[in-house]
Structure 1
Amino acid sequence: MKALDRGSQGLLFVVVGTAPLPFGSIEPFWTHLFLVLIAVSCLTAPWGRMPDSLHRSAGRIVLAILVVGVVTLLQFLPDPWWTVPDPIWRTVAPQIDRILRPRASSIASPPWETLGPSFLFALTALRALPIGADREAAKRLLHVVAWSGLFYAGFGILLLEIEPDRVLWVKKVAYVGNLTGPFVNRNTAATYFGSVAVIWLILALRAWFGSMRHRRRLWRAATLAGCLTCFAAVTLTGSRAGLLLTVAALLFTLFRLLPSYVTLRRYRKRAALVGMAACLALVEIWGGQVGLRIQAHGFADPGRLEMYRIALEMVRERPWLGHGAGSFEAAFPAYRSDVLGMFGVWDIAHSTPLEIAVEWGVPVLAVLCALWIWAALTIWRAGRIRGRDRSVVVAALAVGGLGTLHSMVDFSLQIPGYAVVFAALVGCGLGRSRLLTASRPDGDARRALTPDGFEAAATPVAGTR
């Protein structure tokens, strides 16, 4: 059974470590390959030995998957009696020779290139729940994300210096002169490298303030170098939201995790101020491209604001079942206004929540938002428990906040290569949080924080029953 568990965990680690590499896994082949690996990992996970609290969390994720699946089925069934068909079928029918049976969706068949990444994201979060219940497995997940991300950051910086017009072995179509790493889009690259920088900061705090076995000079230097390299990669992307949210995530991590290692208040404040000053200095030194973009265009593009207005109009017209999964590119041209002009291809809403509402409807968005709010509150409550393992919990909070806020103004979570990393870290943090909050001591035992930042075994307290 132990070998089976290790193999199941290994499949998850392989997906998390390699999914960013093939252009963010945006090609259906890679998405489906990783989906198969995650499905096998889920089937071989040790669910029978998991606490009931994790079973309930897994049940909520499975319920959300079923809701999305049922709504998608209703969208693509022909001749729907439960809703008004999309108007596009009435418009197109007279112009072609064959009979088209109307559907609630504006396209004829389910787009597997849309459903594949969605199920990959959900199953990755589901599989990461048991990882959070295993202290050593959670450590390994953090290291997999850290080292793979550092490799991609170093390779991306080197490639930017040697051939700035290429991404991997393909010539760039856009973002020439900006670092994109293994991704096609610089904003997704900024979010990914920012998330990895958060993990390296956590490892650096453990190396500098943790147990003696982590105080080797080489390892301490490596953690700082890893964090700085990934932060430099973020600045070289030229992404405005990516850089600002990365700085916010790093400062949040510092303020939340530092009290676990430094007990004296004055030293905590000094270290936090030094960290804030360091972040601002690095932004000033390396953030030149981002600063120029902010000066030239501000914090928001007028075209994107118009896109959001149009997306809200699309939601208003079909709020219950939406326009169909994966149909945004097909449905948008009918709503495109003159404000956007003739230039630009708007095949994505540049806001994941808005695109979910457009394609699946408001009820599905409400279900997913309720699930995410519940997960965020659970992780937040666990992060406030004193004397507990908070490294994985803080990582989930920081990366979850970074990815969620960025997805509101872009589409990072729609890129499988970043989505699986995000889902694995948040799912692991949720699993750890459920375990901590469910077993919170009420006087019969106390769990101490080990010097490396992970939870020690429970020890009885003298004088308690």
Structure 2
Amino acid sequence: MLSNLINRKVLREVLLVAFIGLVILTLIPFGSVTPFPFTFAAIGMFSLAIISALLFGEPRQSRWVFSIALFLLVVLAGWTFIQTIELPFNWLAHPAWGAARDLAGVRYAAISVEPADTLASILLIALPFVTFLTGLLLCDNDQRSRKVLAGLGLSAGVIAVFGLLQFSMFPNILIVVEKHAYLDSLTAVFVNRNTAATFLGLGVLLMLTQVREITRAYSKYPPGEPGRNILLLKSWIYVLLLCACFTALMLSHSRAGIFATFVGALIYFPWLVVNWNSSRRFLRLEPRWRSLLKFLAGGIFVVVLLAMFAGQAILRAQERRLEDDDRFCILPGIWRAISDHWLTGTGLGTFRTVFSAYRDPACGIFGIFDRAHNFYLEGFLGLGIIFPIAAILVFSVLAKVFWRGIADRRRLRHYVLLGIAATVLVALHAAVDFSLQIPGFAVFFAAFLSAVVSISLGRSQSETDRQYA
């Protein structure tokens, strides 16, 4: 019996390492936007999910979140599939099929205007959901959840260092191919600078957390004991990786990405300053005025950083007004398309085809909009009314999870704040960009959420907390 238990623990650790490695591999080839790496990532993650589910069953502490996520996956994938099939009596079929029947004699009629593209989009929905579910299965305690967050943070730091070296020495190269867009901006392993900024912003928050963890461990380590110098070296490495993430973020020149990161930092950093030593076993209470002073100092520090280092992004925002930005110019056309198909949608993955009929000539004739540059509006157009309902449910679940985490967790409460800050960062940037539609980043963020949700719903008095907090 004991050997079986030990093997089970070892197997979970092996699967956890494979999970972290697969998430990182999904990032590297341009965010897995091309078919081959995306297929590899999907096969690997689905296999890992099946193995984890068969071996470990539903997670104990986060079971209700697991059930809701699985339910949403089934509903969204099922509705997407329904959009591709021919319903009886052409019920809910898009009007374009009637014109196709009259002009070309086409007999097929479905909700989606491009059933093949919509069917292929099911995997784009499923992959981040399955990643989240797998993370919940494997992150059964605080230690493993923190391992996932540490692995994601270190990977973001290493990718930031790679991006800085590449941008400084080979600015016209993107990994191993010639770079054709955003030549003046650092994009790391991504094609788009806005996706890179979202990823690097999340990396800043993650590495800030790791710096806090390692510096606290060093400060409590007895002087003269073996291993103290190693902790000091790790502390400097973590600080350098944090600086690399921040520098790479600034060099991305993404206005929305930088500002969304600073909003997240305003939520997280002041609280972290006030509670830097909050997990000590014998915490000495500070006067309220001193805590307030630290909180204000942390907020001012974030604002000063924005003013000092985000100059180019601020200049771009001042020089280019919102009405001159193509992303905002096309919004009225997207709203008209949604108002015409708000109930059923036009089929997931059909934005490029549908929007061409609603494009305002005043926005210019150059360029093809294959993305809405707004995750929420494109989801609404593609899936119909079911998308905002699902989005409200997701945010409600996360709000409940984080609320419970704030109320119940003590030593690890900063991880709950990390989850809140990162969610705000990604949610804000999703309103003006499509980072969540890039498979690599979607998988990365889903893995991140699985770890912070597991910590938020963990038991504060468990053996894991006493050992590792």
**Shorter-normalised TM range:** 0.7 to 0.9
Instruction: Name the structure 2 match of 1:120.
Output: 127
Q: 2:465 aligns with which of 439, 447, 455?
A: 455
Say if 2:84 and 2:119, in contact at 8 Å, map to a contact too.
no
Instruction: Name the structure 1 match of 2:29.
Output: 22
5 Å matches for 1:34-183?
34-45=41-52, 48=56, 52-81=60-89, 83-96=91-104, 99-111=106-118, 113-183=120-190
Q: 5+ residue gaps in structure 1?
A: 441-446, 459-465
Distance 1:83 1:209 in 2: 63
Q: 1:315 aligns with which of 322, 338, 343?
A: 338
Query: Secondary structure of the equivalent of 2:187?
Result: coil
Instruction: Name the structure 1 match of 2:247.
Output: 232
Query: Secondary structure of the equivalent of 2:331?
Result: helix
User: 2:334 corresponds to which letter in structure 1?
Assistant: A
Distance 2:433 2:9 in 1: 41
Say if 1:11 and 1:38, in contact at 8 Å, map to a contact too.
no
Query: Secondary structure of the equivalent of 1:253?
Result: helix
Closer, same or farther in 2 for the Cα pair 1:29/1:385, shift >3 Å? same
Distance 2:98 2:362 in 1: 27
Distance 2:236 2:27 in 1: 26
Q: 1:191 aligns with which of 198, 201, 204?
A: 198
5 Å matches for 1:159-308?
159-210=166-217, 212-213=220-221, 216-262=231-277, 263-264=285-286, 265=288, 268-298=291-321, 301-308=324-331
Distance 2:374 2:298 in 1: 31
Say if 2:346 and 2:383, in contact at 8 Å, map to a contact too.
yes
Q: Compute the displacement of 1:313 (Å).
A: 1.5
Deviates more, 1:348-357 or 1:247-256: 247-256
Say if 1:25 and 1:416, in contact at 8 Å, map to a contact too.
yes
Distance 2:195 2:59 in 1: 35
Q: Compute the displacement of 1:230 (Å).
A: 0.4
Query: Secondary structure of the equivalent of 2:412?
Result: coil
Query: Secondary structure of the equivalent of 2:408?
Result: coil
Distance 2:467 2:168 in 1: 49
Please give the root-mean-square deviation of Cα atoms over the aligned residues, in Å: 2.6
Instruction: Name the structure 2 match of 1:363.
Output: 386
Q: 1:394 aligns with which of 417, 441, 451?
A: 417
Distance 2:251 2:418 in 1: 23
Distance 1:434 1:82 in 2: 46
Say if 2:372 and 2:378, in contact at 8 Å, map to a contact too.
yes
Instruction: Name the structure 2 match of 1:349.
Output: 372
Distance 1:392 1:36 in 2: 30
Query: Secondary structure of the equivalent of 1:58?
Result: helix
TM-score, length of structure 1 as denominator length: 0.88
Closer, same or farther in 2 for the Cα pair 1:81/1:8, shift >3 Å? farther
Q: 2:20 aligns with which of 4, 13, 18?
A: 13
Query: Secondary structure of the equivalent of 1:109?
Result: helix
Distance 2:127 2:269 in 1: 31
Query: Secondary structure of the equivalent of 1:435?
Result: coil
User: 2:451 corresponds to which letter in structure 1?
Assistant: C
Say if 1:328 and 1:348, in contact at 8 Å, map to a contact too.
yes
Q: Compute the displacement of 1:93 (Å).
A: 3.3
TM-score, length of structure 2 as denominator length: 0.87
Closer, same or farther in 2 for the Cα pair 1:79/1:43, shift >3 Å? closer
Q: Compute the displacement of 1:151 (Å).
A: 1.3
Distance 1:209 1:255 in 2: 17
User: 2:232 corresponds to which letter in structure 1?
Assistant: R
Say if 1:152 and 1:181, in contact at 8 Å, map to a contact too.
yes
Distance 1:94 1:333 in 2: 21
Q: Compute the displacement of 1:405 (Å).
A: 1.4
Closer, same or farther in 2 for the Cα pair 1:131/1:260, shift >3 Å? farther
User: 1:314 corresponds to which letter in structure 2?
Assistant: A
Distance 2:270 2:187 in 1: 29
Q: Compute the displacement of 1:417 (Å).
A: 1.3
Deviates more, 1:45-54 or 1:126-135: 45-54
Work out whether 1:411 is the aligned partner of 2:434. yes
Say if 2:80 and 2:119, in contact at 8 Å, map to a contact too.
no
Q: Compute the displacement of 1:172 (Å).
A: 2.0
Closer, same or farther in 2 for the Cα pair 1:432/1:133, shift >3 Å? farther
Work out whether 1:432 is the aligned partner of 2:455. yes
Q: 2:363 aligns with which of 334, 340, 345?
A: 340
Query: Secondary structure of the equivalent of 2:342?
Result: coil
Query: Secondary structure of the equivalent of 1:335?
Result: coil
Distance 1:242 1:51 in 2: 34
User: 1:66 corresponds to which letter in structure 2?
Assistant: V
Q: Compute the displacement of 1:267 (Å).
A: 5.2
Say if 1:5 and 1:44, in contact at 8 Å, map to a contact too.
no
